[in-house]
Structure 1
Amino acid sequence: MNAPVKIDNGALCSIELEQEVLGAALVTNSAFDVIEGAVSSDDFSEPLHSQLFETFGKVRDAHGIITPALVIASMGGDASVMVVEGTTLRQYVARIAAAASIPRNVAAYAKQIREFSARRKILAMAETMSMGVHSNQRAADIAGGAIELLDEIATTASAGSTPQISIREAGEKAIERMQYGMQNPGKLAGMSWGLKGLDIKTGGLKRGELFILAGRPGMGKTALAICIARATASAGEPTFLSSLEMGGVSVADRSLADLAYDQRDRIPYYDIANGTLSDAQARRVIEAARLQREWPLQIDPAPGLTVSQIAARARRHKQALERQGRRLGPVIVDHMHIVKPSNRYSGARVNEVGEISAALKGLAKELDVPVIALAQLSRALESRDDKRPTMSDLRDSGTIEQDADAIIFVYREAYYLERSTGANAEQESARVDRLVDVKDQLEAIVAKQRNGPTGTVHLFCDIACNAVRDLGGER
């Protein structure tokens, strides 16, 4: 049982395939675009092939074409240097050009090279895990590294399997969607947020898109996220909530306060947690718990997860749902600034957040679900008179703005009014009057929307009860 597993070297690499693919790029330069989209230099098993692949890219970028002479010049210009036993650089470049595959085979060959590379990485990770076990490393550390690598392989494979589409096919799908909208007026393009104002502004939560809910602490980001989770799950959409900051019971407290909300007899979520309720209020909470018992809302309260670990858990939940004949709905991450970064950009916070943002966008496309990620804003806005957020307030990384399909800032003016005092009697009176006007208002500022308009949606919000409603629709 302890004998090492024997793996055929033929299952790990093919020098001939690598030569044919590189040769195709030399003979037909357009083939390099196909190859570059499928593999990286790390995917080649032969170091010389990795070097040639990188050189091809540099030559193409510098000159617009790839030729043997330009490749040799870019590699130092000495065509007589021995690159493998008995073979000069000139001879080897000529050899791969002669071995070139025909263009129509390039995509399949490149895909197989990537497959070999993934197998080698898995085998190397297995060896690393074995060494870690025998050197008494923490099991969690060993597993963490393996999860990141395996998720990267799974994500790359999923992205690589996304079919290409011609403009004709895309146009036909666009017409079908248009006709569906005309025949079903008022029907959302995506899932409902549970808030009519946001539905009208955004067209709903669309699959494959990344939505960012951003705001300073105390603005109601988590309240809004839990209300959205409550709304989507109660509508029958299986919802996955990665709650990195809050335990599952705390999420349930807020959801119960939201579901049991009555403006005439409010039940703050902390009263549910502390048990300081009247008998009548307790009955309402118990009834709310009965109603939400069967909701397809999965809460993952594990802290300190990397985005790869979140993706792996969401992927497993999706697969479990599919075995039941169901389809995963929104994935909510609360919040992206406390997602544990990988070691790739250790200490470079801007790059770390950028990597997390890009991975969340990739997760939305891979699983074909709406991903809603909460994000913190820079505290610099606290020094401004007008504290409504702008794009420049997105914390740590401008790539969030690039990756997101929609960015919604969450803002409560009452939060700041409650914490200020007028400089004189007149200003204090104005502050109190304004606080009365906006006490239960939340502004959802749609600052970016790739496929729709921007603008502000005004909502009702009782922050202590985690209740967010359309204005005029509160109960």
Structure 2
Amino acid sequence: MSEVDTEMSLLGSLIATEGALEYSAGLIKPEWFSEPILRYIYEQCTKLAEAGHRLSPPTVIAAMPEDIAGVPRNQFYAHLTRESLPVSMIGGMLQTVKDRWARRVLTEMGQSVIEQSQMHGADPYEVASRSMSMIDTVMEVQAEKSGSSLADAGKQFFEDITNPDNLKGDTTGLRILDNKLNGFRRGQLYVVAGRPGMGKSAFMCSTARRTALSGAGVLIFSLEMTRQEIFARMAADQIDWTKAPGFGDLLRGDLKGMDDHVGNAYEALRKAPMHIDDSARLTFAEIAAKARRLKAEMEMHGVRLGTIWIDHMGLVTPSDRYAGNKVAEAGEVSGRARALAKELDCCVILLCQLSRDVEKRDDKRPVMSDLRWSGEIEQDAHVIGFLFREEYYLAQDANADLGALADARWKLDFLIRKNRNGETADCRLWCSIAHSSIRDNL
């Protein structure tokens, strides 16, 4: 059966089988249809189904163009439904249509790579990045292919709840967050957001350090800080003493006579299963490709990848697909981050900047609407936490009460505002920003 014939049979079967289009709306992507008119009819029919309309023959015919390649739409509808096959065959046709789409994408990509690689004006690395983005699109669909029966899922669930350790994620190094979030859970996307100065970098470095020291593999993609800056923060935190040199001192080479302590911190961190990529410019396709390779390398050494940190979301280079559309670009990054967490069976943590609207309010504590392009991020994230330090704002207020300022020192709030598998909460932590240290509040 030719490609178009298979697509005609699939679409005809979906239209002719009651309830099939409603069910398939989230499983079949319009671009899988190679024939534009079939793609258009499928899109129109799914919109009708999602809006609650019954897909009767008059409704479907009315959604079609009046004339399709010289054939009146009522005749085209009749031809479509004549091509329909039994319900038992829909799954096989769907897989065939999806596989042929994947082959088309890969063929087009291969031809494009050959053509562009021979053009002297083309940047070979840009060509490679776009190619990886297309491959990621195919891989995401493949990841959706896997599944299990309800009975299998139920069996796994009961095995897990009888052994609660199976349900725990990798440690955050903070008891209160491990309790509220169950750690950094595999297959989930966490978003940690805050205004500048709230401690996002400190939170990443301190928690990632302790996750790695617990034995779980950690990848950090730092588009903002260099690996030297990250190591200095982790070393200052590792020494765990507020009178020790801060990370700024270490970056200046001022060890404050504590060479032995700094050396011990280096030895401890050197053995941690952690990789830091401080490339200044990365697309998400490049992040995903590197993460897959590094996960494989860790597994060769007996280390399971636990967390991937991306610092920060706004610095990830968007693909050309949604050029200039900031909302769609944000959705692409958060959506791909969520898919990567599921594919690699790890927790992906996106650091995110909040909008300046926070600064315009008397109450500076963040709310969900302060997230830039919040709708996309809210939809994709399993957990959203805001970082807030009252001391930062009091220190800038000439009329601030000195007692309140002293009381706010060393305090950091982690505000859980979305927790798909648990409760929201305000978690009080202890922090020393100079040492990039975050601890449980005693």
- Whether these two folds match at TM > 0.5 is yes
CA spacing shift, 1:258–1:119, aligned 2, 3 Å: same
Write the letter of the residue equivalent to 1:113.
Answer: V
Partners of 2:194 and 2:378 in 1: how far apart? Answer: 14
**RMSD of equivalent CA atoms:** 2.4
2:70 aligned to which of 82, 91, 107: 82
Q: Determine the structure 2 residue equivalent to 1:353.
A: 330
Say if 2:411 is the partner of 1:433.
no
**Alignment-mate amino acid for residue 85 of structure 2:** S
Query: 1:414, 1:435 within 8 Å by CA — same for their partners in 2?
Result: yes
Partner of 1:180: 163
User: Separation in 2 of the partners of 1:386 and 1:45?
Assistant: 53
Contact 2:411 2:430 in 1 (8 A): yes
Does residue 313 in structure 1 map to residue 301 in structure 2? Answer: no
Give 2:357's match in structure 1, choosing from 380, 405, 409: 380
CA displacement, residues 323-355 of structure 1 (integer Å, 9 cap, x when unaligned): 445421111111112222222322222232222
| Residue aligned with 2:306, SS | coil
Give ranges in structure 2 of 5+ residues lacking alignment: none
Note the alpha carbon deviations across 1:345-389, whole angstroms, 9 max, x for none: 222222322222222222222222111111111122113222121
- The answer on 1:119 being equivalent to 2:108 is no
Change (3 A) 1:249 1:393: same
Cα 1:468/1:121, change in 2 over 3 Å: same
Partner SS state of residue 262, structure 1: coil
Matches within 5 A, 1:55-454: 55-61=44-50, 64-77=53-66, 82-83=70-71, 90-136=74-120, 137-159=122-144, 161-166=145-150, 169-181=152-164, 189-263=168-242, 265-279=243-257, 281-422=258-399, 431-454=401-424
8 A contact 1:38–1:111 mirrored in 2: no
In 2, Cα distance between the equivalents of 1:158 and 1:273? 43
Equivalent AA in structure 2 for residue 154 of structure 1: M
Instruction: Tell me which moved more, 399-408 or 246-255.
Output: 399-408
Question: Aligned letter for 1:270?
Answer: G
Question: What one-letter code is carried by the residue in structure 1 that aligns with 2:17?
Answer: T
Query: Do the aligned partners of residues 397 and 446 (structure 1) sit closer, same or farther apart at CA in structure 2, a change above 3 Å counting?
Result: closer
Aligned counterparts of 2:263 and 2:64: Cα–Cα separation in 1: 73
Alpha-carbon spacing, 1:109–1:439, altered in 2? closer, same or farther (3 Å):
same
Query: What secondary structure is seen at the aligned counterpart in 2 of 1:398?
Result: helix
Contact in 2 for aligned 1:72/1:78 (Cα 8 Å): no
* Residue number in structure 1 paired with 2:431: 461
Over the matched positions of the two proteins, sequence identity in percent amounts to 35
Contact 1:256 1:288 survives alignment (8 Å): yes
Farther-moved stretch of structure 1 (306-315 vs 43-52): 43-52
Matched residues in 1 for 2:25 and 2:369: separation? Answer: 34
Deviation track 1:85-126 (CA, whole Å, cap 9, x = no partner) reads: xxx655554344333232122123212211111111111122
- Residue 132 of structure 1: CA displacement? 1.7
TM-score, normalised via structure 2 length: 0.92
Distance 2:280 2:374 in 1: 22
The 1:61–1:407 alpha-carbon spacing in structure 2 relative to 1, beyond 3 Å, is closer
> Aligned partners of 1:82, 1:314: CA distance in 2, in Å?
51
Distance change >3 Å, CA 384–CA 96, structure 1 → 2:
closer
Whole-angstrom CA distance in 2 between matches of 1:385 and 1:35: 48
Secondary structure of the residue aligned to 1:124 is helix
3-state secondary structure, aligned to 2:197: coil
Cα drift, residue 151 of structure 1:
1.1
The Cα shift of 1:210 comes to 1.4
